[in-house]
Copies of this chain bind each other. A is one copy, B any other.
């Protein structure tokens, strides 16, 4: 227990990890997409400038600074020194941006991975925008924990300070579309098997089973990015994980088990699966609270969508539900063996209708890719 990351995370080949993951963040286009997310930008901007007391005269560490925006804001809010760490070549652009904004005497951009670099001092604030899809995809919080263990002063503050993952039953037309796509892919396959036998004398039928598995995974067993409309949420959202960024360890986020319940709130609807999202809060810490607590939520919203959207986990077939039906969900999530930045989740589900009748329980696994 405790907050040491005691070597549980598996060894990662850095070159492979870079090829698979970091290269995306080396494009300014991608940085621009994130910098154009007004919900994300407003939350961090307000968190910093409405809580200047955390920054004035302080040392700040920005983990994964990207183009450097959080480091620059921290400096503008009065930080004495900001260390802005970035693993990709984006570090060069960040350095340029710091200079153009006249802050090179405060912000020091360090190109390297958090796990490797060394700072000349401990810091009072660690700020980072580390959240991936469904919060934990990308596993970047590992690097934030590493930074905290090594470089945060005993009374230091985490920005954000808390994070939560949510799920809720949803309605979605995608459930039909994905089934149609899958059926079409399989029709194509059987046509292909016939043609290959007829024209080229080779029997491909033994690949039908692995092909089916591959296509099922692709179309039916992988979560989707989606911007849900709030009225697609047909039941009460529930929290499946809470993270205190000041104390949680890599162990705490390596896997996750939760038993939650949700009641259907929509009248006569189709339960098509689950939507998942996260929120984070900027509350400072008990000994040094925020003056203005800020929330950044990626919940379904008509007007305040984010680039994170929601993750959608579809059930085939969907299930008729009515207001007052009660759902018990046994949720689990762990990292993919093949790539520690991806996730596997499982929903075990029981549904008791408001009439008192229970439907057969079922469980379904998904990949978050």
Contacts and interface: CB of A to CB of B under 8 A. Distances in A.
Contact of A207 (B41, B73, B93, B200): B93
Interface stretch (A13-21, A127-135, A354-362): A13-21
B214 A28 contact: yes
Contacts of A150: none
Contact of A20 (B19, B28, B100, B205): B19
Contacts of A20: 19
Q: Which of A16, A36, A96, A203 is packed against the most chain B CB atoms within 10 Å? A: A16
Interface string A19-58: 1100000011100100110000100010000000000000
Interface string A220-234: 000000000000000
A60 to B, nearest CB: 16
Given A15-B15, A16-B15, A19-B20, A28 B211 contact: yes
Interface string A184-200: 01001100100110011
Nearest to A31: B207
Contacts of A79: none
B202 A72 contact: yes
Give the dominant DSSP class at A's interface. Answer: helix
B29 A207 contact: no
A189 B200 CA distance: 52
Interface residues of A, number: 45
A67 B193 CA distance: 13
A154 interface: no
A337 B201 CA distance: 43
A69 interface: yes
Contact of A32 (B27, B67, B211): B211
Contacts of A203: 97, 100-101
Contacts of A196: 35
A180 interface: no
B18 A189 contact: no
A6 interface: no
A199 B27 CA distance: 23
B27 A206 contact: no
Interface in A60-85: 67, 69, 72-73, 76
Interface in A210-260: 210-211, 214-215, 218
Interface string A305-322: 000000000000000000
Contacts of A45: 200
Nearest to A213: B28
Nearest to A189: B32
A174 to B, nearest CB: 20
A179 B263 CA distance: 52
A202 B32 CA distance: 13
27 contacts: A13-B16, A16-B16, A16-B18, A16-B19, A19-B19, A19-B20, A27-B214, A28-B207, A28-B210, A28-B211, A28-B214, A29-B211, A32-B211, A35-B204, A36-B192, A41-B200, A45-B200, A67-B204, A67-B207, A69-B202, A76-B201, A93-B210, A96-B206, A96-B207, A97-B204, A97-B206, A101-B203
Interface of A: 13, 15-16, 18-20, 27-29, 32, 35-36, 41, 45, 67, 69, 72-73, 76, 93, 96-97, 99-101, 185, 188-189, 192, 195-196, 199-207, 210-211, 214-215, 218
